[in-house]
Every structure is written in C-alpha cells, then in structure tokens.
Amino acid sequence: MTSITFTLIVSAIIFALGTMGVLLRRNPLVQFMSIELMLNAVNLAFISFSGTLGTSEGQIFVLMVLTVAAAEAVVGLAIIVALFRRRRRIDVDDIHAMEG
C-alpha cells in the first residue's frame, strides 16, 4: 500500500464522518466544524494527488479552499451570533420557517 492510497482512504473516511456530523448535530457551530472537516478531507486528497503528480496546482487549489473556508467561517459565525442575539438559543431545529 503506497502512501497515496493510505492518505486518500483517510481523506474519504474523514469526509464521510464530516457529512454525518453535519446531519446529526443540532448545534450549528459543530455543523460548521464538520464542514471544516469535509473541506480538510478534500484538501488532503488534493495534496496527495499533487504530491504524486509532482505539480503544484493541487496545492494552489488548497489555498483557494482555505480562503473560501475562512470566508465561510466568518460569515457563518456572524450569522450564528446574529441568530443567538435574537433567540438566545442556537439550535438549527428551532428554525423551520420554510415548513410547507
């Protein structure tokens, strides 16, 4: 088993765990952390391929992902804070105004 195989499998497992986290947790903060997990899993896959192919494009993509993740965290956390300010409670299941 080469190192790329191993790291890709690790990345796949972390990605699956991240999805489960998003779906299972009711706390939006932890949901965000799970999304970060998924992003990091993808980063790991990028880096693995980049290293194996010997080109730096994969790394540059990771940098983009980092940027987007940072932006997403900033906006997401701001939304959560705004929600908390309004409801004094953070639970995604409290918010279901879209119910049909």
Partner 1 sequence: MPEAIGLVLLLPFLGFLINALFGNRLSKAASAWVACGAVGLAFVAAVVMALTPNWPNGAALTYDWTLSGSWKISFGLLADPLSAWMCLIITGVGFLIHVYSIGYMSHEPDFRRYFAYLNLFVTAMLLLVTSDNFVGLLIGWANVGLASFLLIGFYTERPSAVAAARKAIVINTIGDVGLILGIFTIITNTGSLTYREALTSGNIASGDWRNWAALFLFIACAAKSAQIPLQTWLPDAMEGPTPVSALIHAATMVTAGVYLVVRAHTIFGASEWAAWFIPIIGALTAFYAATCALAQTDLKRVLAYSTISQLGYMFMAAGVGAYEASMFHLLTHAFFKALLFLSAGLVIHALAGEQDMRNMGGLRREGATRFAAISFIIGALAISGIPIFSGFFSKEAILGSFPLLGGDYVLNASQQAAGVPVWFLALIGWVGVVTAFITAFYMFRAYFLTFEGKTRFEGHPHANPQSMTVPVGVLAVLTTVGGFLAFEGGWNTLETWFAPIKDEVAQNGPNVWRSIETNRFDVVGLVIGVGAGVAGIALAYIIYMARPVRVKSTATALATMADSPKPVLVENPKMYAAKATQSRRAAEIGYIDRERSNPGPGVNAFLRSGLNTFLLYGWGFDLLYNLLIVWPGKGTASLVAHWFDRGVEQAVDSGLGGSTAGASKAARRTETGFVRNYALGILLGAVAILIYVAVIGLQR
Partner 2 sequence: MEQVILVILGVLAVASAVGVVFMPNAVYSAMMLLLNLVSLATLFLLLHAQFMFAAQLLIYAGAILVLFLFVVTLLNPEGENVFKDSKQLQKAGAFTGGIILGIILVGSLIYAFTGGPQFDFAAAQPSPAQPYAYGSVEAFGMGLFTQFLLPFELTALVLLVALIGAVVLGKRR
Is 87 a binder of partner 2 (CB under 8 A)?
Answer: no
Is 92 a binder of partner 2 (CB under 8 A)?
Answer: no
Contacts by 22-28 with C-beta closer than 8 Å and gap 24+? Answer: 26/91, 26/92, 26/93, 27/90, 27/91, 27/92, 28/76, 28/80, 28/83, 28/90, 28/92
Taking phi first (over 0 means left), then psi (-120 to 50 degrees means alpha), and beta for anything else, what does residue 82 get? alpha
Q: Among residues 42, 81, 94, 96, which is the contact residue for partner 2, using CB under 8 A? A: 81
Is 90 a binder of partner 2 (CB under 8 A)?
Answer: yes
Is 33 a binder of partner 2 (CB under 8 A)?
Answer: yes
Is 95 a binder of partner 2 (CB under 8 A)?
Answer: no
Place of tokens 């997401």: 76
CB of residue 7 to partner 1, shortest distance in Å: 20
Q: Rounded to an integer, what distance in angstroms lies between the CA atom of residue 65 and that of residue 67?
A: 5
| Residues near partner 2, by CB under 8 A | 1-10, 12-21, 23-27, 29-30, 32-34, 36-37, 40, 43-44, 47-48, 50-57, 59-60, 62-64, 66-75, 77-82, 84-85, 90, 93
